[in-house]
Amino acid sequence: MQISHPLWKLARNLKGNQRALVYLEPLWGIPYNLFAPYATLYMFSLGVKDTQIGLIATVGMVFQILFSLLGGVVTDKLGRRMTTLIFDMMAWAVPSLILAFSQNFVHFLIAAAFNAVLRIAMNSWVGLLAEDARKEQVVGIFTLIYIFALGAAFFSPLSGFLVERYGLVPTMRNLYLLMSFVMVVKVTAGYFLTSETSVGRVRMQETKHLPILRSLGQYGEVIGHILKSPATLTTLGLMLVMNIVGVVNGTFWTLYAAESIGIEKGYIAVFPFIKSVAMLVSFFTIIPKVHTDRFRQPMFFGFTLFAASQILLLAVPAKGLFLLAVSVVIEAFAVSLISPLLDSMQILMVNPQERSRIISLIYVMVIALSSPFGWIAGLLSSLNRRLPFVLVLVLLAVGFLLTWLAKQPAAKEGAGS
């Protein structure tokens, strides 16, 4: 890879908040990618059933609705920087500590409720990252975030080695302890290495004497902004599709791979590694050519690839390591196309002065509509572990249709509206 690649140039030239947050991202990514491949199997090993796993996902999303609603208000009142410090700590360090000592369904439920606070932290973190960035850099900055996080996934095979050597449950307990400690370091460092954004300072002053309940009452006018913008509605629909797909895949893929295809637990962690390599290749070769003002074609291609990966997943025979790896690679290319575009649209489609509240309300709508699907997918999995992925195929068809119906690029229409 040549050092003149535009993404490397951007990484070298980052300053301020963008430099701090992009460079700190591996501190989240490394421990996360160590435990994530085994999170569902960890619950399953401690006696949590398929339906309970789905219920945990749904309850977590219900809490996310509440915290998404509060996200914009809290972010404006406390500022992007302080909000990120408080709620990133609550969303990751605290539940990781709970998960390290979990014994049953209730403990996992409590951890999911704490982790739902990430919806407040995501709102403030995105603002802190992108609000003072130049518009033409936004896609590149989000791509760098994915690259730095994905680079951390190269550590994921290590967890497979640890599981084989020490057993699943003891390994997971220690990995969650590691996550808790590292997140305390990351969040604290992020606070001291960043400064409040220009928009954040204005909103803090404007909401200084405004009670939170009164701020929540102003969401009516925000709904009006969303409903009047076809671009925003398109982006909302695409976010909804991808959120449900993420919940279903993220919750039940490892269970399907281990219990239905028969992949040994020690090999499970290899697949996130493969996925990360494929995504990194895509980010360096395809994504620099993608622009938010021409989003339809890459979205079409992304949804088509994603559907192909799920069809192949359902066709993988017992012990079919190679075909499963091919499915993962195809899915990786699909996600690498879709995700940065959706992230960028959240920044470019709205009035900067109302960004935090509009994004908060979009998250509320997305999560509210997504919340039953964890439970639904759990029921489907209890009947047949293939059925959640049939559901994913239906959702991807909806995403393709939404992209087809979009009459103009979301970012172009919404920017500055």
Q: What is the CATH number of the domain that holds 68?
A: 1.20.1250.20
pLDDT over 90 percentage in the chain: 38
Alpha helices by DSSP H, 116-137: 118-130
- Residues of the chain with pLDDT below 70 are 1-4, 213, 215-219, 288, 290-294, 345-356, 406-417
Residue 151 within a domain: yes
Q: How many domains does the chain have?
A: 1
Residue 210 within a domain: yes
Distance (Å, rounded) from C-alpha 90 to C-alpha 71? 14
Residue 3 within a domain: no
Residue 203 within a domain: yes
Residue 2 within a domain: no
Residue 117 within a domain: yes
Rg of the chain taking only CA atoms, in angstroms: 20
**Apex 144 CA angle, 253 and 352, nearest 5:** 100
Residues 6+ apart with CB under 8 A from 9: none
Residue 4 within a domain: no
Q: What is the dihedral of CA 205, 206, 208, 212, to 10 degrees?
A: -150
- What local confidence, expressed as pLDDT, does residue 348 receive? 63
Alpha helices by DSSP H, 167-295: 168-193, 198-206, 212-217, 219-227, 230-255, 265-268, 270-285
- What local confidence, expressed as pLDDT, does residue 66 receive? 84
SS3 194: coil
Residue 241 within a domain: yes
pTM recorded for the entire structure: 0.72
- What local confidence, expressed as pLDDT, does residue 412 receive? 43
**Domain limits for position 360:** 24-414
